[in-house]
Structure 1
Amino acid sequence: MLNTPHSAEECLVACTLDDNGASLAAAQVAGVSPDSFHGSATRIVFEVLTEMQRAGLPIDLPVLGEELQKRNLLDAIGGLPWLNEITNQTPTTARFRYYLDEVLDQQRDRALDAAGAQLSRAAKTRDPDVIGQAIAAVSVAAAPRTKAASLAEVAQAEEQRLHDEIAGRTPRGVFGFGLPRFDAYFGNVARGEFVVPAGRPGDGKTSLCWGAGVSAAMAGKRVLFFGLEMRAGQLLRVAAGQLSGVSPRDLDRVHDLDRADYFAALRKIGQCPTLSIYDSDRSLDAIVARVRSERIRGQIDVVIVDYLQRVVPPRGDHQATREQRVGQMSTAFKSLALEIDAPVIVAAQLNRQAESDNREPRMSDLRESGSIEADADRVLLLHKPNNGPDGVPQQPDAQTVHIHLIVDKNRSGPTGPTWLKMHRPTQRFAE
């Protein structure tokens, strides 16, 4: 009999030697690697088999024995008697799928144990970044294994999705900015998209993102908002003003009915079960860990981060430039959108070059743009020009200003400019 707990590992390795590499390839596709094995002998053998596969060598017992001998690893695994024993105990690949699942399940259990121990150690440090990394490790370890869909299954699912969209049963995309004409023309944001609304301070990027997030949450969508510029209480004040049309700064001098409308809006937002605000998760690791943790609890409809340049980059290469670190975060947010199958909206700052040149902004004006232009599925540039759409100069103290919103990149639809109005006292956008 094969010794436990490595018997499933030994049987899986034996299967890979029985069909000239077919089972080896299937195991690799399922996610098996040398790190999946707890036993040193099975780990060594699987690693050598992988190297043999890359070299185009036959995947069988005689060649494996030769390769182990060349590497002086034969004695480390127990010699040829051990190899003969495991192959004799598993003469066919009939139970390959069972052994595969057992190996992956055991790897997951070990990862959960290690992640739990890491989290316990991290809690004692009281360092938010260290704790965030530990939470991320737990989330990754706890994530369920997914089976890759066949091409036919993907095509069938997309056909059904398109039929549902055509018939109006489901919307195109899952997130809009609450601007009907804009959303209809440029398209709602789809799951897995990484969208970057960018502007200079005062051009309304926070107001646009926050207002859209609140509207989505009030419509029943699950929204995670990470506010790195304003605390949760300030964000709720803004949201109540946007919803009620009453500025929080005017509460001491408005009519009693208007004041009542404002506080009713504040209570309504505060009781929204699908809206979550996080104003203390400031690092990339902490944000990603939080999102992964929430994803385990259920589907997320949109993640919004305000804003990219305020996110603390991961600890790592101290020689990396600020642009390289922002680029790493941009790539991480795009990967996160695909991982959780939800839009990730990350506001960003524009540099002063467009202002200095007295021109419309463009993607290259993104601060530390780096890979943002390549990673983003959409880039929205907000700009408050000197003149409005009618050519009349905009007054510095005007309550309502015209914002030029330029869709400079859109992988799934058209690009181009549009005009919006922003009511400064309530920070509310309208078309």
Structure 2
Amino acid sequence: MTEPHPHDDSLGVAGAAPDAGDYSALSERVVLGTLLDGDAEFQRSALPVLTAESFTTPDTRAVFHAITTLARVGDAIDAPTVVQTLDEANLLSGVGGPAAVTRLVTESLTVAVPRVHLQRVLEATQRRQVHEVMSRMLASRATPDQVFAELDALRETGADVSVTLPEFADQVAEYQRELQRRRTMDSPLVGVPTGWKDLDGVYDPDPNRRRIGYLPGGFERKHLALVAARPGVGKTSVVIDFLRAACKSGAGVVFFSNEMPAQEIIELIVCAEVKLYKRDRYKWPEDIPPHGWDKIAEVQADITRNWHLVIDDQASTLADQRRVLAAARMKFRDEGADLDIAFQDFIQRMSTPGGRGAKAQHEELGDFSKGWKDMAKELNVAAVVAAQLNRSSVEGDRLPRADDLRGSGSLEQDADVIIGLHRPYAVGGQDSGHTADELKVVMIKVRHGAAGQVFERAFLGELAQTSEPAPRAIPVPEPPA
């Protein structure tokens, strides 16, 4: 199917870039898609202030009429019910069929806050009304007083953008429902688990064995977490740890890799899950014994069958990544899951369409971090982004700080959580006095918790993972002779 011209009477194509005169049409499609996505709060705000005249094409007006028909009789408003209503009215083929209705939902997931687009639709409606009044009054040779009277009446009864404000009582009720849900939980892990006991905590029935983690909620929806380290310290293995834990929890996961191709990411996952062979064995696997191949096949079958995972090594701009996330959400919902968390393996390797132009690097990075924070909030997902620390972070054997983030103070400002990694051996080698597996983790920033905590992990880079550190033997002094 070819993409329609922006001014064609069509529901449009998800992801199609509008020209400067088509933003009103884009907003109309976003509003319809959000209504179809079942956002009850948005439906309560939008339906009372929208009319058929709010939409400028026969297709969008037909879809809106189907939505209002369902609303009047109290039926559920979603894509399947609207498709059925259009079909019963012999209008479905005219709007482009079921696929066109579904694309409205997909497109609504790829844009900014839908409430902003509702406001744009209301404002555009009022501008058209003003234009119609002025044209009619001029044609009738009305007096200035008559013109002003008509405009005053229009202002009083026209589109009032203030009605798009959220209801405070609804927000309080939603929070109360969330509190009640948390009361019934076995642990405070409301987000996606990290897989690390020090972060998630240990919630044993025995109170004496319980331990509150440094991120007791896990990676929470609408939050941006940064994993920050210098090259060679181990942030890739750490991110693979988090990805594996998320997938095993049943979460829908998208992993953007701007540093490595998808096949290398899969190899790291298989290596970490098999736990038998170092990474270099997979480069030349001729001496892997039969039982090893059986284990590899078992792991591949398990992750293919049970993980809801999309690995994208092409999308490097915010717009492309947003489209991938929207498509992934539709895919995961078809699988009975949802999009819960998104990973970006190297924020400094993202790009701006057409280059950053006159922008400085720190300004561009600020756009990327703000974009990821906005995507987390708008799509209601957790976001985990790997970032590089600057060179000064390796001076001496010191732990990383927030001001070590390379390129932008916006990274620190936008992040809800910053997890810093420090591996002394990666900096000083044998002269550091540390072993290669010692990895120190610093909770540099925790917006809703205590920052400054430090704990250790065992870095097992050759197995593409980290683990709980083994208890260290405490030397016992020899008794005096």
Q: Is the 8 A contact 2:275 2:463 kept in 1?
A: yes
Matched, 1:410 2:446: yes
State which drifts further: 277-286 or 153-162.
153-162
- Which string of whole-angstrom CA distances, capped at 9 and with x for unpartnered residues, describes residues 193-232 of structure 1? 0010011112221221123213212321100110111111
Matched, 1:263 2:263: no
Which of the residues 433, 452, 458 maps onto 1:393?
433
Matched, 1:428 2:465: yes
* RMSD over equivalenced CA pairs, Å: 3.8
Q: Is the 8 A contact 1:353 1:365 kept in 2?
A: yes
Which of the residues 352, 374, 390 maps onto 1:335?
374
Matched, 1:32 2:119: yes
Matched, 1:275 2:306: no
Matched, 1:199 2:215: no
Q: Is the 8 A contact 1:30 1:147 kept in 2?
A: no
CA-CA distance at 1:41 after TM superposition: 4.6
CA-CA distance at 1:83 after TM superposition: 7.5
Paired position in structure 2 for 1:214: 244
Letter in 2 for 1:263: A
CA-CA distance at 1:9 after TM superposition: 5.8
Distance 1:41 1:76 in 2: 16
- Closer, same or farther: CA 357–271 of 1 in aligned 2, 3 Å: same
- Closer, same or farther: CA 360–9 of 1 in aligned 2, 3 Å: closer
Which of the residues 284, 298, 301 maps onto 2:318?
284
Distance 1:382 1:152 in 2: 42
CA-CA distance at 1:283 after TM superposition: 2.0
CA-CA distance at 1:411 after TM superposition: 0.8
Which of the residues 210, 214, 217 maps onto 1:186?
214
Distance 2:344 2:414 in 1: 16
CA-CA distance at 1:352 after TM superposition: 1.3
Q: Is the 8 A contact 1:165 1:172 kept in 2?
A: no
CA-CA distance at 1:305 after TM superposition: 0.5
Letter in 2 for 1:258: G
- Closer, same or farther: CA 375–245 of 1 in aligned 2, 3 Å: same
- Which string of whole-angstrom CA distances, capped at 9 and with x for unpartnered residues, describes residues 287-329 of structure 1? 1222234345644100101110111134476221011100111
Q: Is the 8 A contact 1:284 1:314 kept in 2?
A: no
Paired position in structure 2 for 1:165: 182
Q: Is the 8 A contact 1:308 1:348 kept in 2?
A: yes
Distance 1:355 1:172 in 2: 34
Which of the residues 324, 348, 353 maps onto 2:363?
324
Q: Is the 8 A contact 1:307 1:347 kept in 2?
A: yes
Letter in 1 for 2:395: S
- Which string of whole-angstrom CA distances, capped at 9 and with x for unpartnered residues, describes residues 41-62 of structure 1? 52569xxxxxxxxxxxxxxxxx
Distance 2:179 2:404 in 1: 36
- Which string of whole-angstrom CA distances, capped at 9 and with x for unpartnered residues, describes residues 143-185 of structure 1? xxx9764222222222222232232167533212211232221
Distance 2:321 2:139 in 1: 43
CA-CA distance at 1:373 after TM superposition: 0.6
Q: Is the 8 A contact 1:237 1:266 kept in 2?
A: no
Q: Matches of residues 5-404 of structure 1 in structure 2 within 5 Å?
A: 8=53, 31-33=118-120, 36-37=123-124, 41-42=128-129, 75=138, 149-168=166-185, 171-184=188-201, 185-187=213-215, 188-246=218-276, 247-250=278-281, 251-295=285-329, 298=333, 299-315=338-354, 318-386=357-425, 393-395=433-435, 398=436, 401-404=437-440
Question: What is the SS of the residue equivalent to 2:119?
Answer: coil
Q: Is the 8 A contact 2:369 2:414 kept in 1?
A: yes
Question: What is the SS of the residue equivalent to 1:228?
Answer: coil
Matched, 1:419 2:450: no
Q: Is the 8 A contact 2:193 2:245 kept in 1?
A: no
Q: Is the 8 A contact 1:333 1:344 kept in 2?
A: yes
Question: What is the SS of the residue equivalent to 2:314?
Answer: coil
Letter in 1 for 2:247: A
Corresponding residue pairs, total: 329
- Closer, same or farther: CA 148–302 of 1 in aligned 2, 3 Å: farther
CA-CA distance at 1:282 after TM superposition: 1.8
Gaps of 5+ in 1: 1-5, 11-27, 46-64, 105-145
CA-CA distance at 1:268 after TM superposition: 2.0
CA-CA distance at 1:284 after TM superposition: 2.3
- Closer, same or farther: CA 35–407 of 1 in aligned 2, 3 Å: same
Q: Is the 8 A contact 2:222 2:383 kept in 1?
A: yes
CA-CA distance at 1:344 after TM superposition: 0.9
Letter in 2 for 1:424: G
CA-CA distance at 1:371 after TM superposition: 0.5
Letter in 1 for 2:240: W
- Which string of whole-angstrom CA distances, capped at 9 and with x for unpartnered residues, describes residues 14-48 of structure 1? xxxxxxxxxxxxxx999434874268652569xxx
TM-score (norm 1): 0.66
Letter in 1 for 2:199: F
Paired position in structure 2 for 1:13: none
CA-CA distance at 1:428 after TM superposition: 1.3
Distance 1:191 1:303 in 2: 10
Question: What is the SS of the residue equivalent to 2:450?
Answer: coil
Q: Is the 8 A contact 2:130 2:151 kept in 1?
A: no
Question: What is the SS of the residue equivalent to 2:245?
Answer: helix
- Closer, same or farther: CA 149–236 of 1 in aligned 2, 3 Å: same
Q: Is the 8 A contact 2:193 2:249 kept in 1?
A: no
